[in-house]
């Protein structure tokens, strides 16, 4: 039996790669020296692409693959993809939000705890000997009874809310539209920030959410407020974040993502009121293996003519037809 052709934009985890090599004829775009010539030659053979969020699907790639019908992505984020081109050409996208949900939610809570309880400076206080020389570390802030705002109430947002509830937090959320959930919905993002002690950002990246968290949101969160970003760096106006953290309009931030990764802005990373993590919320062996396996399973379902496991709705990216 002839194996289906798949365009590989990047390598995957070892177990996933073994399965892919056994089941498909892989065209290694990631290893090609002349990538334009490579996709021009092999693209027309392929009905599917395997990639992740760091190896984006561009319009030229889509247009060089006339039979392309599926992009199977082993990441949750796809903000670098030309989804408009994909939608126009009838290409379906799958991602892996469901596979990384728990680890990202755990990381959001880790950052909440670390920032509120001063974990990083406290660890340095013990390690340096300041505890013995200077006495007890300054008092921190309790989480029980605190008000947590969640920006984005998808799968991961709901997992964060469940964890926060178990810690005694009062949860309210903002979303593009309300959902049938047992948490309070706030349609005004500024008001949500004003009412929250801490604000967790977990929306998709891309142009529709670029700088969603701006100066007004940060000022509403206020001098004692904590901003946690486990979404994408583009969602927060980083220039405004640096300014608000520097002059006290925003109390603190805890970040897993940045505008310029991996070379984060030193004006931000040098601030004492920022807790830093290197875009590693899904960075466990178990979750990265599960993400790669979901990519494999979506490809398998596609070529078997079965329902996809984790399709992404791209209808909102289709161009509007003027009457």
**Topology (CATH) of 101-276:** Rossmann fold (3.40.50)
Answer yes or no: 89 catalytic.
no
The residue annotated as part of the active site, out of 41, 162, 261, 286, is 261
Q: How far apart are CA 252 and CA 31, in angstroms?
A: 42
Give residue 123's Cα distance to chain centre.
28
- Parse the chain into domains and list their residue ranges: 5-95+286-317, 101-276
Answer yes or no: 232 catalytic.
yes
Does 206 or 226 have the greater pLDDT score? 226
Mean pLDDT of the chain: 95
* E-state strands within the chain: 5-8, 25-28, 48-51, 70-73, 92-94, 147-151, 170-174, 184-185, 198-201, 226-229, 252-255, 274-276, 311-312
Q: 262-308, pLDDT tens digit by residue?
A: 999 999 999 999 999 999 999 999 999 999 999 999 999 999 999 99
Q: Could you tell me the two tokens for 198?
A: 């801490």
304-317 average pLDDT score: 88
DSSP annotation of 276 reads E
Residue with tokens 């006290």: 248
Q: 137-189, pLDDT tens digit by residue?
A: 999 999 999 999 999 999 999 999 999 999 999 999 999 999 999 999 999 99
Residue with tokens 């940045």: 258
Tell how many helices (H) and how many strands (E) occur in the chain: 13, 13
pLDDT class for 67, splitting at 50, 70, 90?
very high
The residue annotated as part of the active site, out of 27, 232, 238, 288, is 232
147-151: strand order across its sheet: 184-185, 170-174, 147-151, 198-201, 226-229, 252-255, 274-276
Residue 312 dihedral angles phi and psi, to the nearest 5°: -105, 135
* E-state strands within 208-315: 226-229, 252-255, 274-276, 311-312
Residue 322 reports pLDDT greater than 70: no
Answer yes or no: 286 catalytic.
no
Instruction: Tell me if 5-95+286-317 shares its fold with 101-276.
Output: yes
Q: How far apart are CA 116 and CA 225, in angstroms?
A: 10
CATH number of 5-95+286-317: 3.40.50.720
> Can you give the pLDDT at residue 97?
84
Q: How far apart are CA 68 and CA 51, in angstroms?
A: 14
pLDDT class for 318, splitting at 50, 70, 90?
low
Q: 81-130, pLDDT tens digit by residue?
A: 999 999 999 999 999 988 999 999 999 999 999 999 999 999 999 999 99
Contact present, 314 and 295 (Cβ < 8 Å):
no
Q: 25-64, pLDDT tens digit by residue?
A: 999 999 999 999 999 999 999 999 999 988 989 999 999 9
Give residue 111's Cα distance to chain centre.
15
Residue with tokens 């670390």: 114
The residue annotated as part of the active site, out of 279, 280, 286, 288, is 279
């Amino acid at each position: 039996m002839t194996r289906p052709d798949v365009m590989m934009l990047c390598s995957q985890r070892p177990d996933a790669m073994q399965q892919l090599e056994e089941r498909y004829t892989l065209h290694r775009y990631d290893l090609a020296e002349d990538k334009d010539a490579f996709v021009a030659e092999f693209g027309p053979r392929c009905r599917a692409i395997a990639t992740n969020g760091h190896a984006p699907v561009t319009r030229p790639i889509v247009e060089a693959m006339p039979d392309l019908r599926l992009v199977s992505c082993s990441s949750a984020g796809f903000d670098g993809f030309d989804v408009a081109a994909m939608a126009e050409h009838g290409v379906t996208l799958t991602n892996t939000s469901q596979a990384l949900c728990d680890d990202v939610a755990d990381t959001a809570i880790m950052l909440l705890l670390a920032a509120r309880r001063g974990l990083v400076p406290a660890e340095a206080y013990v390690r340096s000997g300041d505890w013995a020389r200077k006495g007890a570390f300054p008092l921190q802030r309790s989480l029980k009874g605190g008000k947590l705002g969640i920006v984005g109430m998808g799968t991961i947002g709901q997992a964060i809310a469940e964890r926060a509830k178990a810690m005694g937090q009062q949860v309210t959320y903002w979303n593009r539209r309300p959902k049938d959930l047992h948490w309070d919905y706030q349609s005004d993002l500024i008001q949500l920030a004003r009412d929250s002690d801490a604000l967790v950002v977990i929306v998709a990246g891309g142009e529709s959410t670029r700088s969603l968290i701006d100066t007004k949101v940060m000022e509403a969160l206020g001098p004692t407020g904590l901003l946690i970003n486990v979404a994408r760096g583009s969602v927060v106006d980083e220039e405004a974040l640096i300014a608000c953290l520097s002059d006290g309009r925003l109390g603190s931030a805890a970040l897993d993502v940045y505008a310029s990764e991996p070379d984060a802005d030193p004006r931000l990373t040098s601030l004492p009121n920022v807790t830093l993590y290197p875009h590693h919320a899904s960075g466990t062996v178990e979750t990265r293996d599960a993400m790669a396996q979901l990519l494999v399973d979506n490809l398998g379902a596609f070529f078997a003519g079965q329902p996809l496991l984790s399709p992404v709705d791209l209808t909102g990216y289709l161009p509007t037809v003027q009457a």
